[in-house]
């Protein structure tokens, strides 16, 4: 079982419009709702790859009930979400059908009370020992301590369960210091963490700060990985236009699935890159076209070097 943690869950709502014009009125051609938040997107992709997944985090209010009702229909995904008094947020993606570009609107999450955070920590400690890997994903809702991920990383490490961290800002800085097995920042998050806008230098700096391995998501430029075993670059076969929401989450799913399947790094990176592109081409986050993914997988270029033992 792979455990994904989404402290700031969401209901992802995707609107499609023929053309998106600022200050204009729009007729929506299609609406899709899905359980969202980074870890829930990761879980759906992992389940589609054949892995058993348990999701945990916070849900609340009418929106939270919709999230849980829809999760119940996803094969391979178990629900261990914790209730809170506040309401789960919504995220709105507006897709311009003419250009394929997407505009994203993210609501803040519910305020989490100290007692709710304590209850979650206890439940998490019970879930971790049964996991083959843990993914800690996304932003922190109001009320959750900024060092929350650092503590959750340490809990996983104490249980000898590999842990991947995917967040940004101060939660990333503190979480890296707790020595996660993998961190997956995007280019902006990596630059904010290290102060360097040169990706190779920044990934090496992030490792010095505590991460065992760093996989930087560089958007259309692919992935850059620095690990004890070596350094690699994975480049997608072509630039694509579509809905980028969830593309980074598919990278996490590819990395985690490769980790628990004991794949070598180049194969993990090829899978993560192909999944990311297939997700951009999917109409909603947390889904990918399997035929597109399988066709892309063999065309991802992975180059690099293995570190001498």
Residues with a catalytic annotation lie at 249
Sign of CA dihedral 126, 6, 187, 151: negative
Tally of CB atoms within 10 A around 62: 10
CB 250 within 8 A of CB 272: yes
Buried-state track 223-233, b at ≥16 Cβ within 10 A, e below 16? bbbbbebebbb
CA-based radius of gyration for the chain: 18
Cβ distance 289 to 278 under 8 Å?
yes
**Contact between 184 and 215 (Cβ < 8 Å):** yes
DSSP state of 233: E
Contact 216, 199 (CB under 8 A): yes
DSSP state of 41: H
Which helix (H) or strand (E) segment is 156 a member of?
helix 148-158
- CA 176/CA 59 separation, integer angstroms: 26
The residue among 118, 104, 35 whose CA lies nearest residue 245 is 104
């Amino acid at each position: 079982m792979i455990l994904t943690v989404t402290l700031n869950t969401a209901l992802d709502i995707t609107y499609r419009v023929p053309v998106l014009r600022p200050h204009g009125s729009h007729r929506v051609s299609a609406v899709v709702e899905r359980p969202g938040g980074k870890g829930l997107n990761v879980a759906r992709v992992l389940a589609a790859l054949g892995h058993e997944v348990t999701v945990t985090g916070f849900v609340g209010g009418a929106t939270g009930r919709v999230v849980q009702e829809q999760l119940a229909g996803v094969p391979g995904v178990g629900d261990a979400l914790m209730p809170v008094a506040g309401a789960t947020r919504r995220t709105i993606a507006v897709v311009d059908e003419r250009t394929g570009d997407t505009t994203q609107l993210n609501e803040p999450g519910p305020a989490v009370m100290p007692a709710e955070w304590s209850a979650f920590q206890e439940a998490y400690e019970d879930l971790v020992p049964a996991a083959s890997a843990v993914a800690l994903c996304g932003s922190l809702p109001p009320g959750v301590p900024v060092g929350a991920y650092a503590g959750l990383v340490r809990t996983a490490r104490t249980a000898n369960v590999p842990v991947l961290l995917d967040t940004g800002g101060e939660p990333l800085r503190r979480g890296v210091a707790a020595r996660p097995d993998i961190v997956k920042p995007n280019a902006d998050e990596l630059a904010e963490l290290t102060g360097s806008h040169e990706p190779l230098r920044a990934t090496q700096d992030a490792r010095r700060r505590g991460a065992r391995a760093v996989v930087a998501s560089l958007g259309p430029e692919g992935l850059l990985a620095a690990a004890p075993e070596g350094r690699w670059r994975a480049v997608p076969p072509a630039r694509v236009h579509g809905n980028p929401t969830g593309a980074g989450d598919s990278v996490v799913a590819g990395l985690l699935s490769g980790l628990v399947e004991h794949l070598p790094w180049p194969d993990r990176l090829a899978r993560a890159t192909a999944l990311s592109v297939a997700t951009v081409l999917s109409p909603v986050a947390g889904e990918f076209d399997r035929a597109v993914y399988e066709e892309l997988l063999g065309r991802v270029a992975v180059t690099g070097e293995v570190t001498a033992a």
